[in-house]
Amino acid sequence: MEKNLQTVLIEAKKDHFAVPAFNIVDYTSAAAVISAGEDEKTPIIMQTSTGTVKWYGAKHLAGMVAELKNSAKVPVFLHLDHCTEMDLAKECVDSGWDSIMFDGSKFPYEENVAKTREIVDYAHKKGLTVEGELGTIVGVEEEIQVDKAKLPSIDECIDFVEATGVDIFAPAIGTAHGLYSGEPKIDFDLVKEVSEKIKQPFVVHGGTGLDESTFKELVQLGASKINISTALKYAYYEGLDDYTKENGDKIAPVETEKAKYNAIKKMALYHIETFRV
Ligand SMILES: [Zn+2]
């Protein structure tokens, strides 16, 4: 049997690297991040936001990337990012995803645990892994500095992982989604404690905008999955802009796809290399 995502992440931690999880948006971005993984002989996680899943439809999206995934020369996982809807999470479990993140962080603690537990039970029957989140990872539209008091304590983290049975754990550590307007204040003490006291691999959300030394410190402390979404979106448009600058208004859709592919692959290669310590 092929290794599941949890096993691959545990091995990554031992081997001192983190597996990048890129939020793909179409076939070209999926092909680009997989190609980067193949060049660097690194496993790749293709994450899909719920918006992307709804746009394509779960079965169509899984089908669109299935051949890329199956013929890849490195392990590639299809992972659902930040799903707050039980029905959609279950639909992805049934449609070919390898791993599901259920984000119950907006619910009160007990409800977060109960809902996460429900999706864990459902997904485990089919051999999938589940990622759960505790605490709040703020978004680009909200204040960027996360108050340390809002971050979970190590005891809350341990309780949550045990009560839910999640395979992969995403505690809020002070990172944010989107772009940082100021210095991110990461609670490295919490990161260290989670890494030492919780055997489930832990995930860093909001990777875009962290500098190289911060990435490396997180990987050194044991982060084995780092999410990159915003940087892919920027690379997508950079590719399109570069094409337009060089070619004016030449109408050649396949060429613009290639420009997008190259920009996204370059972005992916940078993160793969940075996530090694
Ligand atoms: Zn996230």
pLDDT at 1: 56
The predicted-structure confidence for 20-59, as pLDDT tens digits, reads as follows: 999 999 999 999 999 999 999 999 999 999 999 999 999 9
Band (pLDDT 50/70/90 cuts) for residue 193 is very high
CA distances from 258 to 24, 243, 261, 272 (A): 15, 9, 5, 21
The whole-model pTM stands at 0.95
Domain count, the chain: 1
Cβ contacts of 55 within 8 Å, gap of 6 or more: none
The predicted-structure confidence for 212-239, as pLDDT tens digits, reads as follows: 999 999 999 999 999 999 999 999 999 9
26, 39, 81, 159: which is the annotated catalytic residue? 81
pLDDT at 86: 95
CATH code for the domain of 228:
3.20.20.70
The predicted-structure confidence for 105-143, as pLDDT tens digits, reads as follows: 888 999 999 999 999 999 999 999 999 999 877 775 444
Alpha carbon of 103 to ligand 1 centroid (Å): 9
CA distances from 121 to 48, 78, 115, 128, 165 (A): 21, 19, 10, 10, 9
Taking the C-alpha atoms of residue 19 and residue 36, their distance in angstroms, rounded to an integer, is 12
**Main-chain phi, psi angles of 23, to 5 degrees:** -85, 95
Note if 81 is an active site residue: yes
Alpha carbon of 228 to ligand 1 centroid (Å): 9
pLDDT at 274: 98
Alpha carbon of 183 to ligand 1 centroid (Å): 18
Tabulate helix, strand, coil % of the chain (nearest 5): 50, 15, 35
pLDDT at 141: 45
Label residue 147 exposed, middle or buried (CB < 10 Å: 0-12, 13-18, 19+).
exposed
Alpha carbon of 110 to ligand 1 centroid (Å): 21
| Domain that residue 212 falls in | 5-274
Find the mean pLDDT for residues 86-100: 98
The predicted-structure confidence for 163-187, as pLDDT tens digits, reads as follows: 999 999 999 999 888 888 777 889 9
pLDDT at 249: 79
Band (pLDDT 50/70/90 cuts) for residue 242 is very high
Percent of the chain with pLDDT over 90: 84
Alpha carbon of 83 to ligand 1 centroid (Å): 10
22 contacts 33 by C-beta, under 8 angstroms: yes
Label residue 15 exposed, middle or buried (CB < 10 Å: 0-12, 13-18, 19+).
exposed
Cβ contacts of 91 within 8 Å, gap of 6 or more: 58
Compare 195 and 176 and report the one with higher pLDDT: 195
Alpha carbon of 170 to ligand 1 centroid (Å): 8
**Could you tell me how many residues make up the chain?**
277
pLDDT value at 267 more than 70: yes
Alpha carbon of 72 to ligand 1 centroid (Å): 25
